[in-house]
Each structure stands twice: as C-alpha cells, then as structure tokens.
Amino acid sequence: MGTDRCAYLSRLRRVDPIPKVWFALAALLICVLSDSLGVGLFTLAALSALNLALGGQRAGDLLRFLKIPLAFLVIGCLTIAIRPIGEAEALWAFRLLGRWNWGITAENLRLSLLVCGKAMGAVSAVYFLSMNTPMTDLTLALERLHVPKLFVELTELIYRFIFLLAGEAGRIRTAQESRLGYQGFRRSLGSMGELLSTVFVRSLRRGERVFSALESRGYTGTLTTLPGQYVPGRWLYGLAAATAACQLLILLAERRLLP
C-alpha cells in the first residue's frame, strides 16, 4: 500500500476529497479523450509537478511509483511499434523467419508514443489523487457522490481488515516455514492450502466478533460516521480549470487550429 502511506503524510491530507477527485478526474479525462501526445506529456509533467509542489511528496517516491506502470507500458508499446508491415515504407524492418516483413513504420511509431504518453498522463493524474487522499477519504467522497452505500461500506471494511488478514497470513506463513512447511513443491501447495483455510475460518470468526462490537455501539444497519473537519478545497477547482485550459491549448496547437 505504498501510495496510501504517502497520502497520510501529504500536505493535502486534510483538504476536502471531493475537489481532489474532480481535479484529478478532469485532468485524466481530457488527457485520455484528447488523443494527443503533447497533452499526455503535459499532463504527466503538470500533475507530477503539482503532486510534488502541493502535496509535498518526495520526487523519489513519485518516480518509484511511476516506474511500475512504465514497465508494462514499454512492453505494450513495443508490440504496437513493431508489427507486420507488409510492403509499407519502414523506418526499420526485418524478415521474421525469412518470410514475414516486420518493422516500425512512422505511423506505428507515432501511435505507440501516443499510447504511452496518454497512459502516463492518466497515471500521473491517478497518482495525484491517490498520493494525496487517504483511502478512507476517498470512500467518503464516493459516498457523497452518491455511489451506492453498500459498495462504499464494503470497500471501507475490506480496506480496514485486509491489513489484519495480511498480518495474520504472514504470521501463519512464518510459523509454517519455521517448521519446514515450504520445502518442495508438493509440501508448499499443502501448506499454502492450510494457510488459506485457516485465514478463512479465522476471518469468519472475526466477522462475528466485529458484528457484536458494532451492535454494542448502536449499529443500525449503516456504518455512518463523521469525518474529521476538512480544509475546503475550492481553489482546486480553479487549478482544474487552469490545467484544463492548458491541456486544450496544447491540443489546439498540435492540431494547428491556432494561428
């Protein structure tokens, strides 16, 4: 849960989550819909810079997170760039198994860079949101945006208890390993199966206890709580408008619609 840990330290931690959601969402949508490499790269640069400047995140952390999708993207974009090209004019080509003509055409190269730029722009918008908004604020924002309550409450409970389950599974695994439970493929499978069933049974029991505890505090069917007081974040709407304006200007310039 790397980005989440950053969110609790962010300078925007106490800012109302809803403007943050709209800001990130607007930048993301324009980036994806505008279908332009320039807009993608601008979104990547602008939202990463804002993430560092406003959220007070460390550049090293952000780069580390950006590298994760980059690895997948590079592979994906290579397969777009290098394809069978028939007799088209290629920048670079080779014969696959001596029969098929494969290579990179200018068009395919443009397309692969476009996909890569767009995706990284979108990712940086998502990181701006997730590195500056704790999960609990995000689910609360979803609730205020009228996402069904059942879905929101399930998300919150899963988020809370996944750490406990993971911790429990980790301790069981250590206990099994200390008794040589993971030596050899067959034994590993058996131990893993027992681990899973134990975690499952324990979480069932815990579920019962959690329910009792909720009832004892007057649970009436909804997990309604009051969040800590937020700093209003209306200024983020201004920032969203400014970012959108820059994105659209770049788009227009790229399409040569500006004089």
Residues at the site binding other proteins, with contacts judged by CB under 8 A: 4, 8, 13-14, 134-137, 140, 156-157, 159-160, 163-164, 206, 209-210, 212-220, 223-229
- Residue with smaller CB distance to other proteins, 188 or 212: 212
- Residue with smaller CB distance to other proteins, 46 or 140: 140
List of residues 6+ apart from 140 with CB closer than 8 A: 17, 152, 227
Measured from the CB of residue 228, what is the shortest distance to other proteins in angstroms?
A: 4
Query: What is the C-alpha separation between 92 and 199, in angstroms, rounded?
Result: 54
List of residues 6+ apart from 222 with CB closer than 8 A: 149, 153
Give the number of other Cβ atoms within 10 Å of residue 29's Cβ.
14
Measured from the CB of residue 171, what is the shortest distance to other proteins in angstroms?
A: 13
- Residue with smaller CB distance to other proteins, 182 or 230: 230
Q: Given its phi and psi angles, is residue 221 left (phi above 0), alpha (psi -120 to 50 degrees) or beta?
A: left
Query: What is the C-alpha separation between 34 and 121, in angstroms, rounded?
Result: 11
**Is the distance from CB of 159 to CB of 136 less than 8 angstroms?**
yes
Tokens standing for residue 26 = 């607007």
Measured from the CB of residue 209, what is the shortest distance to other proteins in angstroms?
A: 4
Measured from the CB of residue 201, what is the shortest distance to other proteins in angstroms?
A: 16
Q: Using alpha carbons, list the distances in angstroms from residue 210 to 100, 189, 206, 238, 252.
A: 63, 31, 6, 43, 56
Q: Using alpha carbons, list the distances in angstroms from residue 233 to 14, 18, 55, 58, 117.
A: 9, 8, 13, 22, 29
Query: What is the C-alpha separation between 136 and 51, in angstroms, rounded?
Result: 19
- Residue with smaller CB distance to other proteins, 98 or 228: 228
Measured from the CB of residue 229, what is the shortest distance to other proteins in angstroms?
A: 7
Residue of 31, 56, 245, 57 lying closest to 120 (CA atoms): 31
- Residue with smaller CB distance to other proteins, 173 or 206: 206
Measured from the CB of residue 9, what is the shortest distance to other proteins in angstroms?
A: 9
- Residue with smaller CB distance to other proteins, 184 or 218: 218
Burial of 64 (0-12, 13-18, 19+ CB in 10 A): exposed
Measured from the CB of residue 55, what is the shortest distance to other proteins in angstroms?
A: 14
- Residue with smaller CB distance to other proteins, 8 or 92: 8
